[in-house]
Amino acid sequence: MTRLRLATVRPQEPEIFHSLQGEGVSIGRPSVFVRLSGCNLACHWCDTPYTWFFEGHAGPHRGDRQYDRRANSVTLDIAEVVDRIRGFDCSHIVFTGGEPLLQQPALAALCERLGPDYHVEIESNGTVALTPGFAPCVHQLNLSPKLGHSGNAESARCNDAALAGYARDPRAWFKFVIAEPADAEEVSALADRHAIAPQRIILMPEGTDSATLHARSAWLAPLCLDRGWRFTDRLHIHLYGDTRGT
């Protein structure tokens, strides 16, 4: 039986919830979020460390606290996940993480079970290419390639073949987390290397509280105007704070 490994809002309670999309081109859209557990990267500033920063993890995270794997993840049959999704009167789904594309066979089976009436977004770090079995299920790709300030080695955070493929995919948008104005030069270099169209580039301030987001937005918004890139805020942080299940 096909199963998915999910993050939790509390022990044994999967993080499947109905909220407004907080980032990117779909910002403000009512969506059902399904947060998967596990990631192949280790970003210092990650705002969902409970999906991967488990006890015994060798890498650092700015919060230092490590999480008990059994308390912060749960494995469910896809039939139960389908039932939970269908419990919301919403046909827009966002699979997020962690890194959801690490579980593509189970996601493909889940989407087949759901049927064609759902619009599927994926939030991914862009290091994992879509598989032939899952690619037809996806309507929108919200990719967030990581920059040097994430703390990941370039060999881990940049999969050139995957990024080049996504740059040719009209479903893909490229959202970059920005901490300092100088980060824009790294975005430009990646865009040039992979031929990413400027109208598909979105910059987002890094931060998990409104004060930090407002401060960084003050210089990031004009930077986007100057470069011809899009800007996105983090709506869910302003509405709900840095909390699970929102």
DSSP readout, 79-148?
A: HHHHHHHHTSS--EEEEESS-GGGGHHHHHHHHHHH-TT-EEEEEE-S-SPPPTTTGGG-SEEEE----G
The amino acid present at 182, given as its one-letter code, is: A
pLDDT by residue (tens digit) across 168-209? 999 999 999 999 999 999 999 999 999 999 999 999 999 999
The structure tokens listed for 169 are: 């995919």
CB proximity list for 52: less than 8 A, separation 6 or greater: 37, 38, 39, 42, 46, 98
Structure tokens given for 156: 């881990």
Q: Identify which of 122, 239, 204 has the alpha carbon closest to the alpha carbon of residue 171.
A: 122
Tens-digit pLDDT profile for residues 207-225: 999 999 999 999 999 999 9
Percent of the chain with pLDDT over 90: 96
d(CA 213, CA 232): 11
Would you call 164 exposed, middle or buried from its count of C-beta atoms within 10 A (0-12, 13-18, 19+)? middle
Q: pLDDT at position 126, please?
A: 98
At residue 63, the pLDDT reads 81
What is the predicted pLDDT for the residue at 184? 98
| pLDDT per residue as tens digits for the range 104-147 | 999 999 999 999 999 999 999 999 999 999 999 999 999 999 99
